[in-house]
Structure 1
Amino acid sequence: MQTHCGMDFGTSNSTVAVAGGNGAPRLLALEDGKPTIPSALFFSFEADNTFFGRAAVSEYVTGADGRLMRSIKSVLGTSLFADSTRVKRQVWPFSAILGLFIAELKRRAELELGQPIEAVVCGRPVQFVDDDPKADAEAQRQLEGAVRAQGYRHVEFQFEPIAAALDYEQQVAKEELALVADIGGGTSDFTVIRLSPERARAVDRKADILATAGVHIGGTDFDRLLSLKKVMPLLGYGSETADGKRPLPSGPYYDFATWHRINRLYNPKLLTELRSTCKEARHPDLVSMLIALVEERQGHRLAGRVEEAKIALSEVEHTLFRFAARDVDLKAEITRTMLTEALDGATRSIARSIELTLKAAGVPGSAIDTLILTGGSTKVPSVAVMLREMFPSAKAVETDAFGSVGLGLAIDASRRFI
């Protein structure tokens, strides 16, 4: 029996799903019996081995000596894709790191399935890169190259929000006009699509898709914005030089707050620049803590604590942020209101992208019957409130936040690869 595969390679988490025969599509267990695997690698210097997913994060958090890579999808279509990073004596291009993770996804999927997989539909955001069609096309080319290099003979692409709609459509009983809001780790994508039991049987759905749009904002951006507002100031961000003539350089703080840029700080030249900044700073004690964190390569662990605070504020009104390391003890009370303020610009950009999607579809918000929510960042309070305010009369459907795209990609694959 031919098996058709959908791969959702996400900024934060990844899944692989299969569909074949008359059975329903299903997600494959990729790590510890779970269908999701964090999109992370850890190059262990101690074990001289590479760990993936939760194991990668665990190795890093427990203090093993090595190099953690997260949010690697974010380099697609950017200048970072051509960069490389040193792992012990070996220099790894980012293209090779992407390929290494995708190869592991394929290996685990085939092990779980018990047979090789040669054909795959890959999910992609509506826009890898905002307002730059050339860079966007290059990003897809880069991803396709990384996927084909792992042995896939047939590679197709589908927009992630459309895949989420295909998954939800399996349960609709009558025609609906839906807006799919797919807000994940790296991007926010939107699709206006007509769904129905009859339409679900069609292979070509182009006529049912009224509009798609997206913006390169997602959960990792929320982490960065919260960090810059509440955590980086504890390390001197936003302060001035001792003579008050200029602010301290913001670049190192921006990099340290951004998942896929943290490793850029781990080189001798930038450490020398930080030490020079410390000598000029009005608050050298704060900058010295930043230097200590960079020297100890604590950036991803710090970003993880910021992410935990963001997630906690989806459930509670306030949380205590605490992070301790060598010569560093950071504390900050963070409220849901503070998170909302930090994300205000990003939330408004997401709302504008939704408005553009509706305009392109030629329908008002009041015409939307169903709001399909997928992606973990739809649970962020300010985003959830914004979506409900924009579509107060629509039925809100919360899909499997991390699995619906992969399932929809498998459905799409079963129709393409006949």
Structure 2
Amino acid sequence: MEAKSFCGLDFGTSNSTVAIEGASGVELVPIEGDNRTIPSSIFFDFSDGSALFGREALRAYVEGTEGRLMRSLKSVLGSALMDETTRIKTKRFTFKDIIGLIVGRLKEAADTAVGADVTQVVMGRPVHFVDDDPAADRLAQDALEEIARAQGFRDVAFQYEPIAAALAYEQTVREEQYALIADIGGGTSDFSVVRVSPEGRKRAERAGDVLASKGVHIGGTDVDRLFSMKAVMPSLGQGSEMRVPFGDKILPVANAFFVDLATWHRINLLYTPKVARELREMERHSLSPMKIARLAEVIESRRGHSIALAVENAKIALSAQESALIDLTEIEPDFLIAATDKLLHEAIVDQLGALSRTLRETLKASGLPGQRIDAVFLTGGSTAIPAVRAAVTAQTPAAKIVEGDLFGAVGLGLGLDARRKFG
């Protein structure tokens, strides 16, 4: 039998997956060893110029290999950074080029699993790449399609990520249900109300079963940024003051450095001689010079991602316990910051409110009250955060809470949609 040349590809902000038609149906393929998910990370090794991906990329960075780590690049789609260039040793790359390397790595996994050149793909996309800007949203999808074609895909289709998750969930139901699909990943939070049923699995056209879809640009990377700003950045001088040169006027230090340092896809923008000079000048005039010196040393030693990883690890720990340590001993001996679930909640309270509003709008658009929802299907790593989960489930009191594969449900659903479109 001729191998199927289609796949579903979920290029996520934090993690990515690929699904194909296997011997027993649609399945996720191994991408990194036996792992069927891969962190959406790339590390450029300066010793030989090679690119490492996923866990291997993170390991090289943590072990201190000289090079450059980049992560959460999906957040760049639709932004002004998309076509900007960044220097990797002696070469310059656009962010589009770098995303292309990751998508190419995912295509290789599909080709290997199928044993043929996979040319047809359904790619996942959030309901909104960019909030309240249809033109930028369209540019983001066009850029992702251009990237996919450059990597060898000839037929490129898109599906909303929460709809893909609904298709995956539908494989498990035994009766018709109204399901709220909550896909809260690294970059966006997307909600859909979908009618799912055993009979629906057989239908090719499903537009009538999708009652509403809405999204907001809030995800795990936003949680990381806000948590870092709340818990870590004050120890690096955020919120401190400095004297204006040649005068006695006191001003707060510029916040932009701290925002960039707390934002995954912007950290590398700080690693320039100009920023280093500005920080040392700030140190000279600071009223908290030891903190600003610490900030300058973090930038000069390129340890920004060490902070980001430590914050992310503490966030994950707080999904299961009330307190955790943000371990920054790579930065400085005995540099440990105590954090609690209460502190994390305080950091993201505005975002929790935005999630609740978006969910209310989704239910209103569906024409169904929250009491009519039979099941809430949770996918995306950020649904593991208790405060996020509570915000998502509060408006559907009668619903059964179903936890899907947090990182694989969307990819599996994209594979099912690819079979419908190309199989």
Alignment of 1:311-390 (within 5 A): 311-325=316-330, 329-390=334-395
- Checking the alignment, whether the CA contact within 8 Å between 1:81 and 1:94 is kept in structure 2 is yes
Partner SS for 2:416: helix
Of the candidates 409, 412, 415, which is equivalent to residue 417 of structure 2?
412
- Shift in CA distance, 221/244, structure 1 to aligned 2, threshold 3 Å: farther
- Checking the alignment, whether the CA contact within 8 Å between 2:225 and 2:262 is kept in structure 1 is yes
Task: Report the counterpart of residue 74 of structure 1 in structure 2.
Answer: 75
Matched, 1:284 2:285: no
1:112-144 CA distances to partner (integer Å, 9 max, x unpaired)?
332221111000000000010000000000000
1:22-48 CA distances to partner (integer Å, 9 max, x unpaired)?
x32110000021000110110001232
Task: Report the counterpart of residue 111 of structure 2 in structure 1.
Answer: 110
Give the whole-Å Cα distance in 2 for the aligned partners of 1:350 and 1:328: 38
Task: Report the counterpart of residue 253 of structure 1 in structure 2.
Answer: 258
Matched, 1:145 2:146: yes
Q: Percent sequence identity over matched residues?
A: 49
- Checking the alignment, whether the CA contact within 8 Å between 2:9 and 2:122 is kept in structure 1 is yes
Task: Report the counterpart of residue 223 of structure 1 in structure 2.
Answer: 224
Q: What is the RMSD computed on CA atoms of the aligned residues?
A: 1.3
1:225-280 CA distances to partner (integer Å, 9 max, x unpaired)?
00000100000001111457321000000000000000000011111111222122
- Checking the alignment, whether the CA contact within 8 Å between 1:30 and 1:112 is kept in structure 2 is no
Partner SS for 2:10: strand
Alignment of 1:168-317 (within 5 A): 168-242=169-243, 245-317=250-322
Give the whole-Å Cα distance in 2 for the aligned partners of 1:290 and 1:410: 45
Task: Give the superposition deviation at 1:324.
Answer: 2.1
Partner SS for 1:157: strand
Of the candidates 403, 408, 417, which is equivalent to residue 403 of structure 1?
408
Give the whole-Å Cα distance in 2 for the aligned partners of 1:364 and 1:2: 45
- Shift in CA distance, 76/358, structure 1 to aligned 2, threshold 3 Å: same
User: Which moved further from structure 2: 6-15 or 325-334?
Assistant: 325-334
Give the letter aligned to residue 5 of structure 1: C
Give the letter aligned to residue 384 of structure 1: R
Give the whole-Å Cα distance in 1 for the aligned partners of 2:89 and 2:67: 8
Task: Give the superposition deviation at 1:20.
Answer: 5.7
Give the whole-Å Cα distance in 1 for the aligned partners of 2:413 and 2:249: 56
Give the whole-Å Cα distance in 2 for the aligned partners of 1:69 and 1:342: 25
The TM-score with structure 2 as length reference comes to: 0.96
- Checking the alignment, whether the CA contact within 8 Å between 2:192 and 2:210 is kept in structure 1 is yes
Give the whole-Å Cα distance in 1 for the aligned partners of 2:222 and 2:41: 17
- Checking the alignment, whether the CA contact within 8 Å between 2:3 and 2:115 is kept in structure 1 is no
The aligned length equals 417
- Shift in CA distance, 281/135, structure 1 to aligned 2, threshold 3 Å: same
Structure 2: runs of 5+ lacking an equivalent: none
- Shift in CA distance, 85/212, structure 1 to aligned 2, threshold 3 Å: same
Task: Report the counterpart of residue 59 of structure 2 in structure 1.
Answer: 58
User: Which moved further from structure 2: 136-145 or 200-209?
Assistant: 200-209
User: Which moved further from structure 2: 105-114 or 347-356?
Assistant: 105-114
- Shift in CA distance, 241/329, structure 1 to aligned 2, threshold 3 Å: farther
Task: Report the counterpart of residue 102 of structure 2 in structure 1.
Answer: 101
- Checking the alignment, whether the CA contact within 8 Å between 1:371 and 1:396 is kept in structure 2 is yes
Task: Give the superposition deviation at 1:329.
Answer: 4.9
1:84-133 CA distances to partner (integer Å, 9 max, x unpaired)?
11111111111110111111111122123322211110000000000100
Partner SS for 1:224: helix
- Shift in CA distance, 244/329, structure 1 to aligned 2, threshold 3 Å: farther
- Shift in CA distance, 104/319, structure 1 to aligned 2, threshold 3 Å: same
- Shift in CA distance, 244/223, structure 1 to aligned 2, threshold 3 Å: farther
- Checking the alignment, whether the CA contact within 8 Å between 1:18 and 1:28 is kept in structure 2 is yes
- Checking the alignment, whether the CA contact within 8 Å between 2:355 and 2:392 is kept in structure 1 is no
Give the whole-Å Cα distance in 1 for the aligned partners of 2:113 and 2:174: 33
User: Which moved further from structure 2: 97-106 or 251-260?
Assistant: 97-106
Give the whole-Å Cα distance in 1 for the aligned partners of 2:149 and 2:368: 39
Give the letter aligned to residue 110 of structure 1: D
Of the candidates 3, 6, 9, which is equivalent to residue 8 of structure 2?
6
Give the whole-Å Cα distance in 1 for the aligned partners of 2:181 and 2:38: 23
- Checking the alignment, whether the CA contact within 8 Å between 1:28 and 1:113 is kept in structure 2 is no
Partner SS for 1:241: strand
Give the whole-Å Cα distance in 1 for the aligned partners of 2:338 and 2:175: 48
Give the whole-Å Cα distance in 2 for the aligned partners of 1:128 and 1:328: 40
- Checking the alignment, whether the CA contact within 8 Å between 1:289 and 1:328 is kept in structure 2 is no
Partner SS for 1:6: strand
The TM-score with structure 1 as length reference comes to: 0.97
1:326-357 CA distances to partner (integer Å, 9 max, x unpaired)?
55653211011111111111111111111111
- Checking the alignment, whether the CA contact within 8 Å between 2:303 and 2:331 is kept in structure 1 is no
- Checking the alignment, whether the CA contact within 8 Å between 1:317 and 1:335 is kept in structure 2 is yes
Give the whole-Å Cα distance in 1 for the aligned partners of 2:136 and 2:100: 20
Partner SS for 2:36: coil
Give the whole-Å Cα distance in 1 for the aligned partners of 2:260 and 2:8: 33
Alignment of 1:16-95 (within 5 A): 16-19=18-21, 23-95=24-96
Give the whole-Å Cα distance in 2 for the aligned partners of 1:411 and 1:244: 63
Task: Report the counterpart of residue 398 of structure 2 in structure 1.
Answer: 393
Partner SS for 1:390: coil
User: Which moved further from structure 2: 271-280 or 116-125?
Assistant: 271-280
Task: Give the superposition deviation at 1:388.
Answer: 2.8
1:185-207 CA distances to partner (integer Å, 9 max, x unpaired)?
01000001111111221111111
